[in-house]
C-alpha cells in the first residue's frame, strides 16, 4: 500500500486540496445569507473528508476488479433508479434522492454515471482495441446507456441524463469507431436535432401543453429562454439574466469575498449548487473564474496523460470516460450561466455543494489514479 502511495499523482492531490478550499469558501458565501439554506463549513469539509477517504481507498484497488463485476454494478444501478422513482419523495420537482441521516441524501443518478463508465469499458474491451462494429458494438452500447437515460429523464432529471450521452460519445470515440460510422452518427444527430427543433417551433403550443401535463413544462421554458431570450418572460429568464449580470458586475477582480451583491441578496437561485460559478464570477471576477478554469484544465491534462501512459486499454477507456464526464459538466454548467447553453440542473464538479456528486467525483478520480498505480500484467488481461 505504501509503495502505491509513493506513486500517487501529486498534482492531482494538490488540485483536490485546492478544490476543497475553494468549494468550502464559495458554498459558505453562497449560503450564509440564504433564508432557507444553511450549510456549515464543517459539513462541507466533512463531505470532502469522506471523499478523500474514498479517493484513497479506490486508488489502492485494482481498477480491473470493477470491470469484472460490471454487469452486477449495472444491474444495481438500474435497480436503484427504479427504486428511487417508485419510492422516493419528490425534491425540487424530481424523484431522484433517497434521504439519509444527518441531513444528507443519496442520488442514484450520480452513481450511475460512474457505473456507465465501467459498463461501457467492459463492453468495449471485448474488441481488444479493434475497430468497433456498428451492429455488434455500437448499437448495444447505445442501449446500455439508453435504459438508465430513460429512467433518469422520467424522474425528471434531464441534466444528469444528458451527461450519460456525453460519456457515451467520449468513450465511443476512444473506442476506435470507424470514421464513416462517426460521420453517419453526426449526420443523424445534426439532422435529427434540426428536425426536432423545427417540430418544436411549428408545434410549440401543443408540445408545451404536453410537457406541462407531464410535469416538465420547465424544460420548454428553459429552451424558450435559450432560443428566444427577448420573448421569454421575466420569470423564465430570471436565473440566466441575473447570473449573467452578476458575473459581468464582477469585472476583472470581483466585488470581494462575501461581498457579491446579487448573490447575497438571494437573486441567484441555487447559488450554492448549480449556480456556484456565479459566486466565483461576482466575488472574484474574471481572474478568479480564469484561475478555476485553468485548474480544471490542468486536472484534465493530468488525466489524459495517465490515459496515454496506461498499458491497459481498459484503463484508457475508464480515464477517457471520466474526462468526458468532467469536461461536459464544466462546459454545460459554465455555459448555461453565461447564456451559451440552455439552463439545466448540472453541478460544477468538486465545487458545487452536493454530497453524492462530490463522492462520485472522488471515486471516479480514485479510479483514474488506480489506472496509474496498476500498470502490471498483460494489457488485455483483466485481473
User: For position 180, what pLDDT does the model report?
Assistant: 85
Give strand ranges (E) for the chain.
Answer: 98-99, 105-106
Q: Given pLDDT bands bounded at 50, 70 and 90, which one contains residue 358?
A: very high
CB 298, CB 11: distance < 8 Å: yes
User: For position 337, what pLDDT does the model report?
Assistant: 92
Reduced to 3 states (helix: H, G, I; strand: E, B; else coil), residue 245 is helix
In this model, does residue 205 exceed pLDDT 70?
Answer: yes
pTM: 0.91
User: For position 378, what pLDDT does the model report?
Assistant: 52
For the segment 276-299, what is each residue's pLDDT rounded down to a tens digit?
A: 999 999 999 999 999 999 999 999
CB 92, CB 85: distance < 8 Å: no
CB 380, CB 316: distance < 8 Å: no
User: For position 1, what pLDDT does the model report?
Assistant: 64
For the segment 144-182, what is each residue's pLDDT rounded down to a tens digit?
A: 999 999 999 988 888 899 999 999 999 998 887 888 888
For the segment 87-143, what is each residue's pLDDT rounded down to a tens digit?
A: 888 777 778 888 887 667 889 999 999 999 999 999 999 877 777 888 888 999 999
SS3 content of the chain, % helix, strand, coil (to 5): 70, 0, 30
Q: pLDDT: is 231 or 192 the higher one? A: 192
CA 230 to chain centre: 30
The mean of the pLDDT values for the chain is 88
Rounded to a whole number, what is the largest CA-CA distance in the chain? 63
CA 164-169-172 angle, to 5 degrees, is: 120
Q: What is the spatial distance between Cα 126 and Cα 317, in angstroms, rounded to a whole number?
A: 12
User: For position 377, what pLDDT does the model report?
Assistant: 57
Amino acid at each position: 500500500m505504501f509503495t502505491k502511495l509513493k506513486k500517487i499523482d501529486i498534482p492531482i492531490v494538490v488540485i483536490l486540496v485546492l478544490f476543497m478550499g475553494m468549494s468550502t469558501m464559495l458554498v459558505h458565501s453562497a449560503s450564509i445569507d440564504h433564508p432557507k439554506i444553511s450549510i456549515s463549513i464543517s459539513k462541507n469539509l466533512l463531505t470532502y473528508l469522506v471523499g478523500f477517504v474514498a479517493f484513497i481507498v479506490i486508488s489502492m484497488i485494482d481498477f480491473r476488479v470493477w470491470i469484472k463485476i460490471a454487469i452486477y454494478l449495472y444491474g444495481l444501478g438500474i435497480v436503484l433508479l427504479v427504486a428511487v422513482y417508485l419510492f422516493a419523495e419528490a425534491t425540487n420537482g424530481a424523484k431522484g434522492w433517497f434521504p439519509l441521516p444527518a441531513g444528507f441524501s443519496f442520488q442514484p443518478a450520480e452513481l450511475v454515471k460512474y457505473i456507465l463508465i465501467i459498463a461501457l469499458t467492459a463492453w468495449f474491451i471485448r474488441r481488444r482495441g479493434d475497430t468497433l462494429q456498428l451492429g455488434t458494438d455500437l448499437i448495444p452500447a447505445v442501449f446500455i446507456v439508453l435504459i438508465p437515460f430513460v429512467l433518469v429523464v422520467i424522474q425528471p432529471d434531464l441534466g444528469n441524463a444528458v451527461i450519460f450521452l456525453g460519456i457515451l460519445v467520449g468513450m465511443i470515440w476512444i473506442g476506435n469507431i470507424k470514421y464513416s460510422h462517426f460521420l453517419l452518427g453526426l449526420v443523424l444527430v445534426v439532422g435529427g436535432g434540426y428536425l426536432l427543433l423545427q417540430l418544436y417551433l411549428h408545434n410549440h403550443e401543443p408540445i408545451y401543453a404536453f410537457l406541462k401535463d407531464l410535469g416538465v413544462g420547465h424544460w420548454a421554458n428553459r429552451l424558450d429562454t435559450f432560443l428566444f431570450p427577448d420573448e421569454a418572460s421575466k420569470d423564465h429568464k430570471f436565473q440566466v439574466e441575473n447570473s449573467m449580470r452578476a458575473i459581468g458586475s464582477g469585472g476583472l477582480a470581483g466585488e470581494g469575498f462575501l461581498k457579491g451583491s446579487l448573490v447575497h441578496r438571494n437573486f441567484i437561485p441555487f447559488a450554492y449548487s448549480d449556480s456556484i460559478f456565479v459566486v466565483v464570477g461576482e466575488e472574484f471576477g474574471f481572474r478568479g473564474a480564469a484561475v478555476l478554469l485553468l485548474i480544471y484544465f490542468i486536472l484534465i491534462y493530468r488525466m489524459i496523460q495517465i490515459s496515454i501512459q496506461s498499458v491497459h486499454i481498459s484503463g484508457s477507456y475508464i480515464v477517457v470516460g471520466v474526462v468526458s464526464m468532467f469536461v461536459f459538466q464544466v462546459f454545460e454548467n459554465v455555459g448555461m450561466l453565461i447564456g451559451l447553453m440552455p439552463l439545466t440542473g448540472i453541478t460544477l464538479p468538486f465545487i458545487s455543494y452536493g454530497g453524492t456528486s462530490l463522492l462520485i467525483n472522488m471515486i471516479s478520480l480514485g479510479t483514474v489514479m488506480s489506472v496509474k498505480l496498476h500498470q502490471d500484467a498483460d494489457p488485455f488481461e483483466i485481473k
